[in-house]
Amino acid sequence: MERIAVITDSNSGLRQEQAREYGIHILPLIFEVGGKEYEEGVSLTEERFFGALEAGEEVSTSQPSIAQLMELWDGLLESYEKILHIPMTRALSGSYETAAGLSQEYEGRVLVVDGRRISATLENMVIHAARLVQEGWSAEDIREHLEKISLDASIYITVDSLRYLKKGGRISGVEAMAGEILNIRPVIQIKGGLLEVHSKVRGRKKAKAAMEELLKEDWERLAAAHGEERLHLAVGHANALAEAEEWREELKQHFPGKEIKLVKLPMSICCHVGPGTIGVAVDAE
């Protein structure tokens, strides 16, 4: 059986203890907060990150350097025959293109997966990959399988404040002002990594109800294609734990007997949507 290392980045939200359990390696994304550089999940705490957002400090992200990537790969290839590198979606970062280009220098020993996922859906994909390694699949077959199912996933979120969408240029200042006055909240779909406004409703309660209906529709579609046993559900949040826990309990009524994970949205997404954001996700493996 091939000795295959599995790598993802911190955008997956994979916790270090989970990573150790499955033998997965995490490459931290780089954040600049208030002019100082941090690594997600290593030196950047949630308190510092969300505090900076709420205070209006400049927060930006960047991908790990080529030197960091090569150091990780070279070290692992001393013990493994091949590497499966599964970065966050190329739609939101240049990480995939950088890794794919660099992998050409490794003569087929590094396979970069175009997984087109983020957050909980990426986490599930990476854990699935690690299990397939344990089952004896080849690196090439795993990459082909993961890319085949990459779009069989959706995330829906709604924001607490429109100012972060405005700051990122995703809505205009007029839209933000009108939305705050009229309490209009967008339901944003993340599919293939693209953040797109799916619909607009008045109030957070209606936004959550709309997301529940979309989640049920996607669940039924994916269950028909893959079977319920291959699906995952999650509630995600950006510094809104209590509300997320309460909503997860309510969602269990719609999906009796199904596990619904509670996850934190990755900081790279929180930069665009802000604290208080809440959402749901479904994906197939």
**pLDDT tens-digit map of 15-30:** 888 899 999 999 999 9
Q: What is the pLDDT of residue 180?
A: 58
Q: Is the pLDDT of residue 162 over 90?
A: no
Q: Are 270 and 277 in contact (CB under 8 A)?
A: yes
Q: What is the pLDDT of residue 272?
A: 84
The full 3-state SS of 27-62, as one line of letters, equals ECCEEEECCEEEEECCCECHHHHHHHHHHCCCEEEE
Q: What is the pLDDT of residue 165?
A: 74
Which of 41, 12, 6, 214 is CA-nearest to residue 129? 6
Q: How many angstroms separate the Cα of 118 from the Cα of each of 91, 178, 180?
A: 10, 30, 28
Mean pLDDT estimate for the chain: 90
Average pLDDT for 178-185? 59
Q: What is the pLDDT of residue 178?
A: 43
Question: Please, which residues have CB within 8 angstroms of residue 102's CB and are 6 or more apart in sequence?
Answer: 66, 69, 70, 110
Q: Are 197 and 243 in contact (CB under 8 A)?
A: no
Rounded to the nearest 10 degrees, what angle do helices 204-226 and 241-251 cross at?
50
Q: Is the pLDDT of residue 168 over 60?
A: no
Structure confidence at residue 166 as a pLDDT band (50, 70, 90): low
Which of 253, 254, 247 is CA-nearest to residue 276? 247
76 vs 176, higher pLDDT? 76
Q: Is the pLDDT of residue 64 over 90?
A: no
Q: Is the pLDDT of residue 78 over 80?
A: yes
Phi, psi of 178 (to 5 degrees): -65, -40
Q: What is the pLDDT of residue 174?
A: 37
Domains of the chain from N-terminus onward: 4-29+64-148 (3.40.50.10440), 153-284 (3.30.1180.10)
Q: Is the pLDDT of residue 167 over 60?
A: yes
Q: What is the pLDDT of residue 173?
A: 45
Could you give the CA distance from residue 49 to residue 58 in angstroms, rounded to a whole number?
A: 10
pLDDT above 90 as % of the chain: 70
Q: What is the pLDDT of residue 154?
A: 93
Q: Are 86 and 129 in contact (CB under 8 A)?
A: yes
Task: DSSP letter for 63, please.
Answer: P
Which of 148, 141, 97, 96 is CA-nearest to residue 118? 96
The predicted-structure confidence for 99-128, as pLDDT tens digits, reads as follows 999 999 999 999 999 999 999 999 999 999
Structure confidence at residue 192 as a pLDDT band (50, 70, 90): confident
Q: Is the pLDDT of residue 179 over 90?
A: no
Q: Is the pLDDT of residue 82 over 50?
A: yes
The alpha carbon of residue 261 and the mean position of all alpha carbons in its chain are separated, in whole angstroms, by 14
The CA angle 95-61-260, to the nearest 5 degrees, is 80
Q: Which of 51-55, 188-192, 237-241 is most confident?
A: 237-241
Give the DSSP H or E segment for 152.
none
Could you give the CA distance from residue 56 to residue 21 in angstroms, rounded to a whole number?
A: 38
Q: What is the pLDDT of residue 176?
A: 44
Average pLDDT for 60-84? 94
Could you give the CA distance from residue 218 to residue 154 in angstroms, rounded to a whole number?
A: 8
Q: What is the pLDDT of residue 218?
A: 96
3-state secondary structure of 65: coil
Nearest 10 degrees: Cα torsion 35, 88, 140, 150: -170
Q: Is the pLDDT of residue 209 over 50?
A: yes
